[in-house]
Amino acid sequence: MTTNNHTAEYHDAAHHVPTRFWHVEPDGRVQCDVCPRFCRLNEGQRGMCFVRMRENDQVVLTTYGRSSGFCVDPIEKKPLNHFLPGTPVLSFGTAGCNLACKFCQNWDISKSREIDTLADDASPEGIANAAARTGCSSVAFTYNDPTIFLEYANDVADACHEIGLKTVAVTAGYICPDARREFFRHVDAANVDLKAFTEDFYRKVTASELAPVLETIEYLTHETNVWVELTTLLILGSTTRIPRSTR
Ligand code: SF4
């Protein structure tokens, strides 16, 4: 699924950066390989997440260095209950999302098509220093899924590690293997939102798929040192029924 760039277009070259995970298809379209949505883009088109687009025959991230907001939270609010317990974390996010959950609590951010959502200019070093100044032990990529702004998140993570802060990803885990490896090597702890237990729910309610999310959880728990906790939103009658095959 793609979005034409003539709807509420904004163009701010300073915040457009090249990305790595894409290739050119035989028909000339450029395919983004960050998440299993595999958006195939003509020049000027944006992906379903809205923040990655084809520009000059490559895929660029258009929200580098722009945040939709900051907040100092208890780490338990991410929620992480066994990672640096009792410490404050600086939460920040950008705009857009690669899922389309019908129950999204941050829909104004995740489905934003407006530059106003990205009001705060925020360099990676600026974010890390703000976290240190406010007594935080870590910085969390949250509010919207860091999968879609991984180049920015990775640089923030490097700046945090430089001054001894940890990093936290709050994510749906809907990401392809190469991008997954690249992103999570910058992350110290992750809360993966396992939204349900059936492909049917994932397809109908989130417009994504369960299998890649389970792969991400397996990857994190078996192949990395990232601290992992899972969250599942209970929706009576929907996510509370767990099929025997997936228990
Ligand atoms: S990250 Fe965005 S542009 Fe890339 S495949 Fe996913 S939704 Fe499409």
Per CATH, which fold does 66-246 belong to? Answer: TIM Barrel (3.20.20)
Angle at 51 between CA 50 and CA 54, to 5 degrees: 90
Determine the atom of ligand 1 nearest the C-alpha atom of 148.
1
Separation of CA 36 and ligand 1 centre (Å):
8
The pLDDT value given to residue 105: 77
Separation of CA 32 and ligand 1 centre (Å):
6
On whether the CB atoms of residues 58 and 72 are closer than 8 A, the answer is no
The pLDDT value given to residue 3: 44
Which protein residues are within 6 Å of ligand 1, measured from CB? Answer: 32, 34-35, 37-39, 47-49, 52, 98, 148
On whether the CB atoms of residues 132 and 163 are closer than 8 A, the answer is yes
pTM: 0.89
Helix (H) or strand (E) holding 130: helix 124-133
On whether the CB atoms of residues 2 and 41 are closer than 8 A, the answer is yes
Q: What is the pLDDT along the chain (247 residues), one digit of tens a residue?
A: 444 443 334 457 778 999 999 999 999 999 999 999 999 999 999 999 999 999 999 999 999 998 888 899 999 999 999 999 999 999 999 888 999 888 887 777 666 665 455 567 899 999 999 999 999 999 999 989 999 999 999 999 999 999 999 999 999 999 999 999 999 999 999 999 999 999 999 999 999 999 999 999 999 999 999 999 999 988 776 665 666 555 5
- Of the candidates 170, 169, 61, the residue with the CA atom closest to the CA atom of residue 105: 170
The token duo for 11 is 């163009």
Mutate to test the pocket of ligand 1, among 3, 16, 42, 98 (most ligand atoms within 8 A of CB): 98
Q: Please give the single-letter amino acid code of residue 238.
A: S
Separation of CA 94 and ligand 1 centre (Å):
15
Beta strands in the chain (DSSP E): 2-3, 17-18, 22-24, 30-32, 40-41, 46-47, 52-55, 58-61, 66-67, 69-74, 88-93, 120-121, 138-141, 166-171, 189-193, 227-231
Nearest Cα residue to atom 6 of ligand 1: 35
Residues of the chain with CATH 3.20.20.70: 66-246
Instruction: Name residue, tokens 């934003």.
Output: 112
On whether the CB atoms of residues 55 and 146 are closer than 8 A, the answer is no
Separation of CA 65 and ligand 1 centre (Å):
19
Nearest Cα residue to atom 2 of ligand 1: 49
